[in-house]
Amino acid sequence: MTTLAIDIGGTKLAAALVGEDRQIRERRELSTPASKTPQALREALKTLVAPLQSQACRVAIASTGIIREGNLLAINPENLGGLLHFPLVKTLEALTGLPTLAVNDAQAAAWAEYHAMEDETRDMVFITVSTGVGGGVISGGQLITGTGGLAGHLGHTLADPDGPMCGCGRVGCVEAIASGRGIAAAAQGELAGCDAKTIFSRAEEGNEQAIRLVAHSAQVLARLIADTKAVTDCQRVVVGGSVGLAPGYLAQVRACLELMPPVYHVELRAAHYRHDAGLLGAALLAQGETS
Alpha-carbon distance of 282 to 110, in angstroms, equals 10
The reply to whether 131 sits near ligand BMX by the rule CB under 6 A is yes
Alpha-carbon distance of 199 to 203, in angstroms, equals 6
The reply to whether 254 sits near ligand ADP by the rule CB under 6 A is no
How many chain residues are in contact with ligand ADP, going by CB under 6 A?
A: 17
Contacts of 98 (CB under 8 A, 6+ apart): 4, 53, 56, 57, 58, 59, 92
The reply to whether 9 sits near ligand ADP by the rule CB under 6 A is yes
Is 182 in contact with 241 (CB distance < 8 Å)?
no
The reply to whether 168 sits near Zn ion by the rule CB under 5 A is yes
Amino acid at position 9, single letter: G
Of 96, 97, 75, the C-alpha closest to 85 is 75
3-state helix, strand, coil in the chain (%, to 5): 40, 25, 35
129 half-sphere exposure, CB direction, 13 A CA radius: 30
The reply to whether 131 sits near ligand ADP by the rule CB under 6 A is yes
Please choose which of ligand BMX, ligand ADP, Zn ion, none residue 114 contacts, taking the beta carbon within 5 to 8 angstroms, the exact cut-off set by kind.
none
The reply to whether 167 sits near ligand ADP by the rule CB under 6 A is no
Please choose which of ligand BMX, Zn ion, ligand ADP, none residue 65 contacts, taking the beta carbon within 5 to 8 angstroms, the exact cut-off set by kind.
ligand BMX
The reply to whether 76 sits near ligand BMX by the rule CB under 6 A is yes
Instruction: Draw the binding track, 104-143, toward Zn ion (x: CB under 5 A; -: no contact).
Output: ----------------------------------------
Binding site for ligand ADP (CB under 6 A): 9-12, 32, 130-131, 180-181, 195-197, 200, 241-243, 246
